[in-house]
Chain A
Amino acid sequence: AQSVTQLDSHVSVSEGTPVLLRCNYSSSYSPSLFWYVQHPNKGLQLLLKYTSAATLVKGINGFEAEFKKSETSFHLTKPSAHMSDAAEYFCVVSDGGTGANNLFFGTGTRLTVIP
């Protein structure tokens, strides 16, 4: 079965400091992993995805994530937070390997950026 665990429901950082949002996954298959961001009252925007190519994945807006199979982790990082990064972030695993093509969402991490 596929699932993701986002280890922090809320992360608060100061503007200009690094961001770390943690995610652990469970998958019966070689997983496809994603990070999506949701700004208030908006839909979900894809930040980045991992699909068994390079383990370090670069996304939009300076975000990147590293797939670590030994740790079953897919943490999201950014070197320097910007005020516009304040949003809800979702770590997502796909069960595409089963043919069902469903996405399983984590519970989300709310990122607050302090001026």
Chain B
Amino acid sequence: EAGVTQSPTHLIKTRGQQATLRCSPISGHTSVYWYQQALGLGLQFLLWYDEGEERNRGNFPPRFSGRQFPNYSSELNVNALELEDSALYLCASSLAFREHVDTQYFGPGTRLTVL
């Protein structure tokens, strides 16, 4: 069974540009999560999508946005890039949200570098 996949592996942008990161969940998973792992800041929750809807977002500005497609894949868009957006962006997926906690399985990440 294929795991969570992310593309691209690496992305280099300049300040002010927009970045688009993509994630495909494990087959059968309908929830997708995005996390930022920045140097010195640890892993921080960004966004959670389930069944095409944004369910929750972390403490990030609105220029971080995303969407989930009918096939449950997801995009993370970062507008007006700033130097501090340089980080590893991790996507995770889980089974459909229920009252109990479903385990999140992570992809390999996209390394975004902003110059």
Binding site for B on A (CB under 8 A): 32, 34, 36, 42-46, 49, 51, 90, 94, 96-97, 100-108
Contacts and interface: CB of A to CB of B under 8 A. Distances in A.
Q: How large is the interface on B (under 10, 10 to 19, 20 to 34, 35 or more residues)?
A: 20 to 34
7 contacts: A42-B109, A44-B90, A94-B101, A96-B99, A101-B97, A102-B58, A103-B33
Contacts of A104: 45
Contact of A103 (B4, B97, B104, B109): B104
Interface in B16-59: 31, 33, 35, 42-45, 48, 55-56, 58
A23 to B, nearest CB: 14
B105 interface: yes
Contacts of A49: 103
A101 B101 contact: yes
B105 A46 contact: yes
B4 to A, nearest CB: 8
Contacts of A36: 106
Contacts of A108: 42
A43 B104 CA distance: 12
